[in-house]
């Protein structure tokens, strides 16, 4: 199951990278209000996407957190290189947006992991403080 989740995470990362690569100027508009909206909307969208991926992957109850880690990990690892080589990966974007992009991705991956924890159903005997 973790391998299927990681493959789904890679596909999700690839879609996001292509969206930022070819339409990044629409996402990273200089207006601070629109950027704030992006930082609010992205985690909500990622929680919804994580829920949809878990339903599509038919993740067993109790395995949602593990699946969320599988979904988030490929993108987290690959975005290290995207942020490091920001001006090469995203030539249409202002190179000073690298920190903004990194922060947005960090918030998105945190939302994926949070969704996994949120959706996990733990058996009563497993609930210990």
Q: Can you tell me which residue has the tokens 């903004």?
A: 100
Q: What is the pLDDT of residue 120?
A: 86
Position 28 scores a pLDDT of: 78
User: In the chain, what is the straight-line distance between the N-terminal and C-terminal CA atoms, in Å?
Assistant: 27
pLDDT given at position 112: 96
Domain ranges of the chain: 2-122
How confident is the model at residue 14, as a pLDDT? 95
User: Is the CB of residue 31 less than 8 Å from the CB of residue 39?
Assistant: no
For the chain, 129 residues long, give each residue's pLDDT as a single digit of tens: 789 999 999 999 999 999 989 988 887 776 778 888 889 999 999 999 999 999 999 998 888 999 999 999 999 999 999 999 999 999 988 888 889 899 999 999 999 999 999 888 765 555 555
Confidence at residue 60, expressed as pLDDT on a 0 to 100 scale: 87
- Distance (Å, whole) CA 127 – CA 84: 41
């Amino acid at each position: 199951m973790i391998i299927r989740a990681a493959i789904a995470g890679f596909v999700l990362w690839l879609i996001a990278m292509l969206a930022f690569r070819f339409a990044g100027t629409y996402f990273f508009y200089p207006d601070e209000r629109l950027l704030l909206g992006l930082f609010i909307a992205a985690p909500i969208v990622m929680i919804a996407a994580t829920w949809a991926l878990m339903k599509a992957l038919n993740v067993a109850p109790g395995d949602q957190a593990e699946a969320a880690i599988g979904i988030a990990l490929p993108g987290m690892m690959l975005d290290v290189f995207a942020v490091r080589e920001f001006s090469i990966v995203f030539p249409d974007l202002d190179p000073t947006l690298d920190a903004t992009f990194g922060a947005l991705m960090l918030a998105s991956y945190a939302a994926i992991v949070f969704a996994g924890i949120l959706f996990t159903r733990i058996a009563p005997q497993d609930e210990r403080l």
